[in-house]
Amino acid sequence: MIKRDYQVLAENFLFFLNIFILFLLIFSSSLAIPQWLQPFGRLHPLLLHFPIVLLLMAILLELFRFNKKFINEPLYQNFTNWVWLIAAIFAAITVMMGLFLSNEPGYEGGTLQWHKWLGVGIAFNATAIYWFRNKHWYTIKIVRGSLGLLMALLIVGGDYGANLTHGENFVLAPVWHPEKKKVAIDKALVFNDLIEPIFQEKCTSCHNPNKSKGGLILVDEKSVLKGGKNGKFYAGGQPQLSLLLKRVHEPEQEKEHMPPTGKPQLTTQEMLLLYLWVKENAAFNKKVVDLPQNDSLRIIATNFLKPNDEKEIHFDFGAADEKVIKKLNNNYRTIYPIGQGLPALGVNIYNKKTYEPKVLEELLDLKKQIVTLDLNRMPVKDAELKTIAKFENLQTLILNFTDITGNTLKELAPLKHLNTLALSGVRLNSDGLAQIALLKSITKLTIWNTGLTDKDIASLKANNKNLAIITGYKDDGKPIKLNNPQIGNTNFIFADKVELQLKHPIKGVELRYTTDGTDPDSIKSAIFKPGTYINNNEFIKAKAFKAGWLSSDVVSFNFYKNAFTPDSIGYLAGPNDKYSGDGAKTLIDKDLGGTNFGNGKWIGSQKDLVIYMQFSSPKNLNTVTLNCMRNIGSQIFLPIGVEVWGGIDKNHLKLLSSIKTPIPLKDDPLLLKGMECKLNAGKTISYLKIIAKPIQKLPSWDPVKNQPGWVFVDEIFLN
């Protein structure tokens, strides 16, 4: 009797689970999973293997249930029945978890939809087999058909799940992985043929249109430029400010390290490629051959690209011990092979603060294999040339802007294979020229900014007919682009007025600015002068101009006036738990959130955000301004509408102002905008209700179409 009661209870639980799954499917578009329930959904990948094992066991047992040996065996039949019941229950629970998880940001696309519906099919199929397996019409033909369908659902659904978690073609990758043909170095683009393949292999399993973790997609140039929820993915020319490099260089045990622990990690060369790409302004259309011959990025590219029509390179020395290379590689010294399968090595040394002679001496364990040595801007002295001369197969030596005097260059004479020498920024004289002439193997010499006269260089060329001399930049009359104007203000929120502080590092530059949203020009726009004050909300655009120079890029700043602060503030309809900041007071703490909407300074919601404010004494308000964000790549749009209601209390409110925004466009840039509502009050106000409305159905061009967008607000200003 007790056994039967447990079975009935389990059957009722199974029935409830299936009904609840139907409920989740029907109302999925309007459901918001609370933050406290999200850990339950995230157990989906952890639990799903258990019902799979149970289902496979049940399928195997079911195949033999009509066997003469087992058909009349109660123990076999009862045990199989219980396996089916437990398997169906856990399959349904796993599907529920998956549906909860799929409602979190970052999961969307066709792969997710296929995985979801195939998973639902598995749960319903398993439930149906359990309910009907003891019916008189349940024959061996129906058994085979049902089990065949269930196996197909398990295999295909599992494959979609693996693709969703680990990237496309995860299951078949070990046995079927069409090799991409290597691109010839003279045809290769830096991004397309060096950087994008790294993203495809190591990043797109989590950052693709089906699974955009952090709102970040890395499948093409456009998505890389958009960035994710934390803003721009990188800052061109500023590796130290780039989120990309911060994430890949986090310790592997850290939560923010990318790729996550357990997934294929970036190699040292791949990390260096990313660093150099960002450092060189992260160009998308630059060819590899457009880079200088001695550029580190170009040198490393040879490991990933096919030579032009060059003859195969041979070296008469063996490869170095991998353990030695690994030991010598560190944060200020990078050692890399110069070509696929070649024993020759290149070395780049960074960080002049940590440099000392032993940095070179430690490399003598690799003196046969090092053929390229880059000491650009290191404090290398003349004495270190004796150590360098011991790298017997050295071919390329970069000594730009080092501390050598040029009077001891003859120390390099033993280097019979040295063909490229870079001495830019090194002070050279006639004695230095004479010593260069002793280096008979040199075919390429870089000597710009060395203090040598045109006569000195002409003499050097005349005595060395086979020597290509690079003398660097010559003023060809083409203007140079100005740096951007710099803002001196540290606080952009003020109560009365604030002085605008613009500056520029170059003397004689004219700074012009606008407040109407247009770009400044050199004729009509206002000229900035010290003593310029801002009295109201202003969107400032500034630009630098100087005769003979190209004008700078436009920079922009928002200034906000805030004359009143409410005595209390709260929500009538609050934000998403994940983007709730420090409560409603976040909206009046006079701390702007910047472009990082995940830093706790922004309030975000996919439903109408309704805020109330109260004043202990009535106020005469003229404007209410909401500072909002637009970040199309993360489904963050300006509110489609803002309404301001006011009155003497919450029961006596009138609509004082309403504004609407135009339909968003696919290429709208990242924007922080003050949405100003001019009030038609007519009398003083003690109570305000402010409604910010997000777009309820994303445009068809958005990857997450047919879902609501986000509205983000970080401050509300009252004047």
Nearest to 10 by CA among 119, 90, 95, 129: 90
CB 388 within 8 A of CB 360: yes
Examine the pLDDT at 166 and tell me if it is beyond 70: no
pLDDT band at 271 (very low <50, low <70, confident <90, very high): confident
Tell me which of 179 and 719 has the higher pLDDT.
719
- SS3 (DSSP) at 79: helix
CB 506 within 8 A of CB 500: no
pLDDT of 527 reads 92
Mean pLDDT of 74-95: 80
Examine the pLDDT at 474 and tell me if it is beyond 60: no
Examine the pLDDT at 674 and tell me if it is beyond 60: yes
pLDDT of 178 reads 46
pLDDT of 405 reads 86
Q: What gap in Å lies between CA 447 and CA 664, rounded to an integer?
A: 53
H helix count then E strand count, the chain: 18, 27
Q: What angle do CA 691, 692, 694 make, to 5 degrees?
A: 140
CA atoms within 13 A on the CB side of 622: 6
CB within 8 A of 506, min separation 6: which ones?
A: 482, 483, 544, 546
Under DSSP, the state recorded for 228 is: B
Q: What gap in Å lies between CA 129 and CA 142, rounded to an integer?
A: 10
* Token representation of residue 611: 């805020």
Mean pLDDT of 204-227: 73
Out of 175-189, 192-206, 216-230, 680-694, the most confident range is 680-694
Q: What is the pLDDT of residues 588-602, one digit of tens each?
A: 988 888 877 877 889
Q: What percent of the chain clears pLDDT 90, i.e. is strictly above it?
A: 20
Q: What b/e readout covers 109-126, taking b as 16+ CB neighbours within 10 angstroms?
A: bebbebbbebbbbbbbbb
Q: Which helix (H) or strand (E) holds 658?
A: strand 653-660
Average pLDDT, rounded, for the chain: 80
pLDDT of 252 reads 61
pLDDT of 717 reads 94
Distances (CA, A) of 341 to 236, 337, 363: 32, 8, 21
pLDDT of 610 reads 95
Mean pLDDT of 381-395: 93
Other beta carbons less than 10 A from residue 140's beta carbon: 10
CB 163 within 8 A of CB 109: no
CA atoms within 13 A on the CB side of 646: 26
pLDDT of 526 reads 92
Q: What gap in Å lies between CA 85 and CA 92, rounded to an integer?
A: 11
From 187-201, 286-300, 516-530, the region with the lowest mean pLDDT: 286-300
CB within 8 A of 184, min separation 6: which ones?
A: 305, 306, 307, 308
pLDDT of 611 reads 95
pLDDT band at 248 (very low <50, low <70, confident <90, very high): confident
Radius of gyration of the chain (CA): 34
pLDDT of 10 reads 78
CB within 8 A of 344, min separation 6: which ones?
A: 313, 315, 337, 338, 369, 370, 371, 372, 393
pLDDT band at 175 (very low <50, low <70, confident <90, very high): very low
- Beta strand 533-534 with 498-499 is antiparallel
C-alpha torsion sign, points 315, 320, 322, 326: negative
Tell me which of 82 and 402 has the higher pLDDT.
402
Other beta carbons less than 10 A from residue 253's beta carbon: 7
Q: What gap in Å lies between CA 353 and CA 234, rounded to an integer?
A: 26
Nearest to 517 by CA among 676, 642, 659: 676
CB 37 within 8 A of CB 103: no
Residue with tokens 């709208």: 668
Q: What gap in Å lies between CA 254 and CA 251, rounded to an integer?
A: 5
pLDDT of 240 reads 65
* Token representation of residue 541: 């655009």
pLDDT band at 368 (very low <50, low <70, confident <90, very high): very high
pLDDT of 681 reads 60
Reply yes or no: is the peptide bond before residue 259 cis, omega within 30 of 0. Answer: yes
pLDDT of 677 reads 92
Q: What gap in Å lies between CA 433 and CA 435, rounded to an integer?
A: 5
CB 345 within 8 A of CB 321: no
Torsion, Cα 281 345 363 354, to 10 degrees, reads: 0
* Token representation of residue 177: 């992985």
From 242-251, 284-293, 615-624, the region with the lowest mean pLDDT: 242-251
- Beta strand 555-561 with 493-494 is parallel
Catalogue the E-assigned strands of 427-509: 444-446, 468-470, 486-487, 493-494, 498-499, 502-503
Q: What gap in Å lies between CA 688 and CA 612, rounded to an integer?
A: 5
Q: What percent of the chain clears pLDDT 70, i.e. is strictly above it?
A: 83
Distances (CA, A) of 80 to 66, 114, 565: 12, 30, 69
Q: What b/e readout covers 568-589, taking b as 16+ CB neighbours within 10 angstroms?
A: ebebeebbbeebbbeebebbbe
- Give the burial class of 167: count Cβ atoms within 10 A of its Cβ; 0-12 exposed, 13-18 middle, 19 or more buried: buried
pLDDT band at 266 (very low <50, low <70, confident <90, very high): confident
Examine the pLDDT at 42 and tell me if it is beyond 70: no
Examine the pLDDT at 669 and tell me if it is beyond 80: yes
